Amino acid sequence: MEMTRRSFALTGLTALTGLALGGTSLSAFAAGKAGTLRYGTVTEVTNIDPHIYAGNSWKVLIGVLYSPLVTFDTKGEIVPAVAESWEQPDAATIVFRLREGVTFHDGSALTADDVVFSLERIRDEATGATLRGYLVDCTIAKVDERTVEVKKSEPDASLLSVLALPEAAMVSKAWVESGVNIKSQANGTGPFTLAEYESGVRARLAANPSYFVEGEPKLKAVDFRMIKSDDARVSALRSGQLDMIDFVPWKDIDMLARMPNFEVDSASGAFMSVWFNATRAPFDDPRVRRAMAFAVDREAISRAAFFGHGTPIFSVPTPPDSPYFNADLKGTVSLDIEKAKALLAEAGHGEGLDMELIVYQGLGIYTTTAQILQANLKEIGVNVSIRLVEWSDLVSRKNGADYDAMIYGVSMKLNDPDAYSYYLGSESAYWAKPIGYRDETLEALLDEGRQLTDQGARKAVYAKAEERILETMPWIFINYREQAQAYTRKVKGYVHLGGALSEAAPAISLPKIALD
């Protein structure tokens, strides 16, 4: 696949200097842009290391500050980013040809050495990178100054999709090795530069004059405001203090959609789940986890928490429109109190047990879901203590394995069934690795499916993988949730994506958005 775009090739400057180059000042560059987008986001971003996933809002920021080798467009197709082209000589190898003239925000040129360093940083266990499990068995080699080869030990049908994720961002080797705090500073090649950042509160982005895509970004700046209160976020949009908000409260989706001044784009793709610390007793027993899964009233949660914008999941979260959807699993896990009690008794907890449920307090869907779960599990003798926490605390507990169970909302991440590895594979820094979870049967199936290229053969393997997931129930899958963005009608060019790309949609669209 080829795509040629002219680079601005402005070097030695950031979007904050106001200095002139070649007769054109950066202030003049900014003046040609169409204003500042005021964007209200729900989760507090407290760590902007581009290789360690930290939530939806993090993904939006990282997606516009940094660039991977390839990326997704507004149609969900993989297109060039810092790599202008690529070829796959075999099912285990991808060779990337880098664009000329791509620069980091500090003005330094992106080189093949930076690409190798970036991917090796992801592979380094000390980084704690989210995608390490996908790249751990890779060999990354510089072929020449503009060519890098990524080779896995076995064929991998999902590798290109993985490298298109924002979590596969390119960073500057010299900049990182200079000792900067990569958790609070940024130096990418993306369409926006980091002008200001107040951890957990706000981030202000300025247009990158050196961005390699001609005509982008269209905005002069983006002002990210982190507002965890549902009502406060909606109120700020309605009063004109914000131009756009994410995570439209489900109770407000229909109301805002009826108002003439706003657009509301909603799509499915994300799903709600309960994550167990599946190596901590008694949650290390699959019978305990399955018992709780059969006690959950998914219909009640979908009605009460999502106001008609949620659909129960009675099996696994592979979307029905996926070519890998297995209709035979439909209805595998439904509300069955007697079965739940029997499983709990079989596991030696017929008298019940106590547990703590960690819940993010910034979104009403989490607290409502938690309250219904608490009532559901009480029916089988499980006493649930709800602990409401800030987003940063929830992420810290997840990464530190400091929980019995927690409610979490995610998407499948990839348009590929190997998305299960992102979470449930033993090398997953996101969920499995921090708690030391490894299911040998599932691991073997994920490895097998990843190495196949024939879709029919892959579907058969992933069907077995999904059966194993339901047998062991490391997570309880609750429901799909529609995820909505709302914005004033002066915002033009936003495209809302569903499925695996639902949380990346704002980052994909931001360089293309303009304000009337």
Per-residue confidence band for 6, with pLDDT thresholds at 50, 70 and 90:
very low
**Does the structure show a pLDDT above 90 at 438?**
yes
**Contact in structure between 493 and 272 (CB atoms under 8 Å):** no
Picking from 407, 374, 348, 358, the residue whose alpha carbon sits closest to that of residue 295 is 374
Per-residue confidence band for 267, with pLDDT thresholds at 50, 70 and 90:
confident
pLDDT for the residue numbered 32: 53
8-state DSSP, 127: G
The two structure tokens encoding residue 139: 């060999």
Average pLDDT, the chain: 91
8-state DSSP, 103: B
**Does the structure show a pLDDT above 90 at 131?**
yes
**Does the structure show a pLDDT above 80 at 229?**
yes
Average pLDDT value for residue range 487-509: 92
pLDDT for the residue numbered 142: 98
Tell me: the pLDDT tens digits for 86-106? 999 999 999 999 999 999 999
**Which range among 13-17, 43-47, 398-402, 450-454 shows the weakest confidence by mean pLDDT?**
13-17
**Does the structure show a pLDDT above 50 at 10?**
no
**Does the structure show a pLDDT above 50 at 192?**
yes
CB neighbour list of residue 475: distance below 8 Å, 6 or more residues apart? 273, 274, 275, 276, 423, 424, 469
Three-state SS for 14-57 is CCCCCCEECCEEHHHHHHCCCCEEEEEECCCCCCCCCCCCCCHH
